Chain A
Amino acid sequence: MSLSVRDLTVHYGSFAAVRDVRLDIADGEVLALLGPSGSGKSTLLRAIAGLEPATRGTVNWDGEDLAAVPVHRRGFGLVFQDGQLFGHRDVAANIAFGLRMHRVPRAEHAARVRRLLDLVGLAGYERRRVTELSGGQAQRVALARALAPEPRLLLLDEPLSGLDAGLREQLAIDLAALLRRSKITALLVTHDQEEAFTVADGVAVLDGGEIRQEGAVRRVWQGPADDGVARFLGVTTFVDGVASGGSVRTALGEVALPEVGDGPVRLGLRPHALRLAGSGGAGSGVTGFGVAGEVTAAVHRREHLRLVVALGLPEMSTVDAVAPVTADLRPGDTVRLTLDPDGIAVVG
């Protein structure tokens, strides 16, 4: 019960949108396909669904080549970014559509529709018209509809991108729980790292039509393969250092990273890797006295104050950093920053 993609290449005219992709999804695994827009991730998903003909390469399910299997016989469910609910049917009829196509006895429809609506948290919505649903509700119905025929693989094409932030976060958590509970094998396409990390077990980073890195979520997050992947995963500053005895010494100070082997190392810093000295953070990992600089910009965020700080160092003129929401800092103020291992990725 697993998907394996080998050397898959998809062309639009002479342009290779997806190039030599190799991908595996094990039974019950949720893999996120993460990449910036235009990276080919949706094309890859559509090729797996059978909606886009491959130039070469194979898509296998349990060793069976799917090249000759048309979309409707692949048994792969698909949720589009904008739902694509059938406007001429109500919620129940949308969900029952796949049941009818798979010749599930009509008597079972109502019960299964009810169970699916319970699952996505929309109990009692059977007779609603889909045009009356909010964006979040529509996506829940789309999910229920895709799950109804019990697909062997669920393909999610940016299912939450059209929703507003708060709702997106909640739905991502719900989706993660639902997929785990029902042990569904799924491929999630997204450009949102948080969504990928919330929902998926593993992640494949796609850029320019090629897979740059694939692995467990935490490993990719903490150890991006190169600067490009690191940048896409939120790293804004790179700094080279030397590790010895579980600690890395850099131009910005010293930081405890017990898992790094001795020798030269390249660190990628996310904004919260540099914190206002004395402001706590993860605390225990902060060592040394940090580095001094001058605030050039300060923006309030929900959980912290986001700073741009000019350091006057030859290799990096400004860095991103964070301070507690309560810190009253303005451009021109002098601050001292210390490294927090929580926001640091080891690149390469």
Chain B
Amino acid sequence: MTPRAVLTARGTGLALLGVLPLAFLVVFFAWPVVAIVGRGFTAGGVGAVLGDAATWRLAGFTVASAAASTVLAVLAGLPVAYLLARVRLPGVGLVRTLVLVPFVLPTVVVGLAFRTIWPDGGVLSLVLANAFFNVAVVARTVGGLWSQVDTRAAEAARALGASPWRAFRSVTLPALAPAISSAAAVVFLFCATSFGVVLILGGARYRTLETEIYLRTVDLLDLSGAAALSLVQFAAVVAALVVGAIARRRRDGAARVRSGVDGARRPRGGEWWVVAAAVAVVGLLLTPIVSLLVASVSTPDGWSLAGFRALAGTGVRGTLQVTGWEAASNSLRAATDATLLAMTIGVLASVVLVALRRAPGRLARGMGETMDAALMLPLGVSAVTVGFGYLVTLDALPGDLRTSPLLVPLAQALVIIPLVVRMVLPVLRAVDVRLRQAAATLGASPGRVWREIDLPLTLRSLVAAAGFGYVVALGEFGATSFLARPDAPTLPVAIAGLLSRPGELNNQMAYAACALLMVVTVLAVVLIDRFGAVRGRSAVGEF
């Protein structure tokens, strides 16, 4: 075998690993989407919609409001990331957990909470609500990398005469850039395809591509209009992804993970301002949550647990086909399946992506970047489109997937996979290549190197990604609402069902279900964080 043959053999192994994630994306994402868009095209009239100025105003508003929410989420998320990564104060662990809660709240509920604050809706409340959801993405993604970035470079800058702010801006910030741009890309996609919040807060005045697709598909049965808008949405998302990929490529490798160092300490001087900002952000995040919790135990007649008791039933005159507790157990089961699925696919994809990036040659790099972007696409396509597509295509597959209990986990996994990749990839990439080479010279085969070096070093972010994915699956509403059968709703779907039917008890029950969802989420996050930390200490040592 020549050296080229060795490279080719390695490439074949990679290709085999890459097949599973790609096949999953093709069968459970590309095919349904293409099928549904194709139906729109055969119906005709796509050209007219694309030529309409209103379509482009809609696209412009979607992108602009999503961009505004992204900027807001990043600005609010950075102080919290700092708090999580660099500050040793009592209560930081609690913040780490609490900050996740908004992210997993059902969108319908958050929409309602914000409407009580700004009754007339408006752009501001829309932008704020979308940012509210995503502060956690920024805080946890950036915080994760920040805690592992070597502090000595910033210390060197300080010794060279840089002020703390200057050292942050010119040393730490560039090191964090990969995580920030990753997080921003994810947040932008979440905001651009946000559904429940816009539906409730935007009303008839402010519509985005996502809600318009839903309206045309479900209410107007205008499939060709919906298909045209899906194309526009897709194009906007691809454009955003390309910009993100370019930004990432330029800044890649800025961060070096340094193990064995805990950079967290008590803040000094001006750092207290950052801590104060972080606390203020967390306080703002908690406001709707607290009001929700209060609502779950208050009735016009005073404090009461009536809502929680009602969870054992099915609501006023059988609003639901199952009890609240059954819906909760559906949620847990679906989220578990979705997480297992997404971790398998997402971690495999991350491994392939990192290997491609390390491989010599432009072709491999190009393939890696394309696959990287493709993995983000599910975030950018309307859940409504995907859900409808499932109903159209999955009949063709062996086994009765459409009525299978796996249908909802499949759709949820599709939402989580990009998250898993975005959380695992930066850490995987930051593993020092020479550490892997040292293992190889000691006789570790490429597969063994992954198991012995990369896995232990990234274990913590793997656990974090799994926990994150799990709670996102728990709160997922868009696709689930479309796919969950009426006799097997998840908790968020049940909540939406309860809210859509008038009745004091239904409201009480919905609020109680929200509270339950939050408690389950917090518990899950606490458990996973603890597990990660304990395992981390024994297996990862210094993490």
Contact = CB atoms under 8 A, between A and B. Distances in A.
A183 interface: no
B437 A51 contact: yes
A80 B540 contact: no
Interface string B454-488: 00110000000000000000000000000000000
Given A67-B1, A70-B445, 12 more contacts: A68-B3, A72-B442, A72-B444, A78-B438, A84-B437, A98-B442, A98-B443, A101-B439, A101-B442, A131-B259, A146-B441, A146-B442
B453 interface: yes
Q: Which of B2, B443, B453 has the most CB of A within 10 A?
A: B443
Contacts of A70: 6, 440, 445-446
A102 interface: yes
B540 A88 contact: yes
Interface in A70-88: 70-78, 80, 84, 86-88
Interface of A: 49, 51, 53-54, 67-68, 70-78, 80, 84, 86-90, 97-98, 101-102, 129-131, 145-146, 148-149, 151, 155
Contacts of B445: 70, 72
Nearest to A148: B442
A73 B7 CA distance: 15
12 contacts: A49-B441, A51-B437, A53-B3, A87-B259, A88-B542, A89-B541, A97-B439, A101-B443, A102-B443, A130-B260, A146-B442, A149-B442
Given A80-B434, A97-B439, A101-B448, A53 B539 contact: no
A264 to B, nearest CB: 48
Given A51-B437, A53-B360, A86 B444 contact: no
Contacts of B541: 87-90, 129, 131
Nearest to A56: B3
A131 B542 contact: yes
A78 B3 contact: no
A90 to B, nearest CB: 8
A71 B453 contact: no
Give 7 closest A-B pairs by Cβ, nearest first.
A68-B1, A101-B443, A131-B260, A87-B259, A98-B442, A78-B441, A71-B440
B504 interface: no
Interface string B211-249: 000000000000000000000000000000000000000
A54 B2 CA distance: 10
Nearest to B259: A87
Contacts of B457: 88
A82 to B, nearest CB: 8
Contacts of B395: none
B120 interface: no
Contacts of B7: 53
A49 to B, nearest CB: 6
A68 B260 contact: no
B440 A72 contact: yes
Given A51-B437, A68-B2, A88 B259 contact: yes
A130 B1 CA distance: 39
B452 interface: yes
A8 to B, nearest CB: 12
Contacts of B434: 80, 84
Interface residues of B, number: 33
A130 B261 CA distance: 12
Contacts of A53: 3, 7, 360
Contacts of A90: 541
A77 B259 contact: no
Contact of A67 (B2, B437, B540): B2
Contacts of B441: 49, 51, 71-72, 74, 76-78, 146, 151, 155
Nearest to A51: B437
A86 B438 CA distance: 9
A90 B434 CA distance: 18
B400 interface: no
B435 interface: yes
Contact of A84 (B1, B5, B6, B435): B435
Nearest to B455: A88
Contacts of B443: 72-73, 75, 98, 101-102, 149
Contacts of B542: 87-88, 129, 131
A88 B539 contact: yes
A68 B438 contact: no
Nearest to B541: A88
Nearest to B442: A98
Contact of A77 (B442, B448, B452): B442
Contacts of A51: 437, 440-441
Contacts of B435: 84, 86
B442 A54 contact: no
Nearest to B449: A72
A196 to B, nearest CB: 22
Contacts of A101: 439, 442-444, 448
B263 to A, nearest CB: 14
A74 B437 CA distance: 13
Contacts of A98: 442-443
Contacts of A71: 437, 440-441
A171 to B, nearest CB: 19
Q: Which of B3, B432, B539 has the most CB of A within 10 A?
A: B3
A87 to B, nearest CB: 4
B5 A68 contact: yes
Nearest to B452: A97
Contacts of A149: 442-443
Interface in B256-275: 259-260
Nearest to B440: A71
Contacts of B446: 70, 72
Nearest to B258: A87
Contacts of A54: 3
Interface string B519-543: 0000000000000000000011111
B495 to A, nearest CB: 43
Contacts of A80: 434, 438
Contacts of A89: 541
Interface in B406-444: 432, 434-435, 437-444
A88 B456 contact: yes
Q: Which of A75, A77, A97 has the most CB of B within 10 A?
A: A97
Contacts of B260: 87, 129-131
A73 B9 CA distance: 15
A80 B543 CA distance: 23
A129 B541 CA distance: 8
B440 to A, nearest CB: 4
B442 A97 contact: yes
B2 A86 contact: no
B448 to A, nearest CB: 7
A304 to B, nearest CB: 35
Interface in B353-409: 360
Contacts of B3: 53-54, 67-68
Interface in B55-109: none
A75 B443 CA distance: 7
Nearest to A46: B437
A76 B437 CA distance: 12
A88 B257 CA distance: 13
A102 B440 CA distance: 11
Nearest to B539: A88
A84 B433 CA distance: 10
A17 to B, nearest CB: 14
Contacts of A86: 435, 438-439, 452-453
B269 to A, nearest CB: 29
Contacts of B539: 88
Contacts of B5: 68
Contact of A68 (B6, B437, B456): B6
